[in-house]
Amino acid sequence: MAVINNIMDIVAPPVALITLFFFLPPFCLYKFTHYILYSLFPENMTNKVVLITGASSGLGEHLAYEYAKRGAILVLVARRVKSLNEVAMRCREIGSPSVLVVPSDVSKPDDCQRFIDTTIANFGRLDHLVNNAGIERICLVEEITDMTNLKAVMDVNFWGSVYPTYYAIPHLKESRGRIVVMSSIAGYTFIPRMTFYSASKGALISFYDTLRMEFGSEIAITIIAPGVIESEMAKGKVFTPQGKMEVDHELRDAMLGLVPVQPVKDFAKIVVSRVCSGARYIIEPKWWYGVYFHRVLLPEIVDYWQRKLYSLSPQAPATISLTKKMLGYLPVKSLLYTRSMQSPEIKRE
């Protein structure tokens, strides 16, 4: 067996390069043709049933509005009943023929089965399952006082997508529908103090890429990796090392630094447009592709500068990091951050 592996070590690299040389041009032509056709003839969402988790605010809310404009029937899922009803009312006003509100906790499998069953009982089908619910956790591993406090991040970000997917599979196969997964650029590139968040988002990417192979053409899958968008997370809503939800603008500023924040309305519009055009992957804004390729090709350099920028030591809190100082030195905060991010008012769970 060792001999075979040694031979493969020699043979495989040149074979891979030759294969790439021959197959890349026709593949690029195929992708270009696919893009043009689906751009000209996107999926018609009129009266199709779309279930969105985390729909009470932020990205989930605006994804609901974009689907509503396309005439989709909506099922909105989150824990906050009042906020969900407000979003539902707006969706009806802008074009959705029917909106069902199902207050649920995606980290609980029984709740997930219930809102999938309720969708089928009310509408008889499910066309798009949009797994959007997520929470963020920012700290160094050394700062954690109780590791079990981090369980919620994986419960919501990973299992909160897997549970609904599991119960929705037979219905999505019947409609030849689509699963839309909200991962993060943090699932591809690794950001200090976001260990568990990055792990949960990376797990989503691996899970749904593997699931795509299992489904083949029966169920389409779109994996979305946002950069930094206007959301409750970007407004400073995070879990503390003690497992409590708090609003911390200072920590938010330290983590974002000079990274521009994309308005959530713009992002949601791009996402729904590209989902309906059959996209398999969406990284937005597109300049994050450059960050990803640097992380793959120049990992040591990226690691070095991230350590410099984020002051990676429990004795050096994030609020005195170089990223935070740079934001303070340059009068650009109003240009980089949206107006709503300046407000301390954030909807509570």
Which residues are the active-site residues? 197
Q: Left if phi > 0, otherwise alpha if psi is -120 to 50, otherwise beta: which for 58?
A: left
Tokens standing for 316?
């050096």
Count of other CB atoms within 10 angstroms of residue 324: 23
Tokens standing for 172?
């999505």
212/209 Cα distance (integer angstroms): 5
Q: Which of 306, 314, 310 is nearest to 140 (CA)?
A: 314
Looking at this protein, which amino acid is placed at residue 242?
Q
Tokens standing for 50?
């779309």
Residue 231 three-state SS: coil
Place of tokens 């021959």: 22
Q: Which of 294, 112, 135, 130 is nearest to 224 (CA)?
A: 130
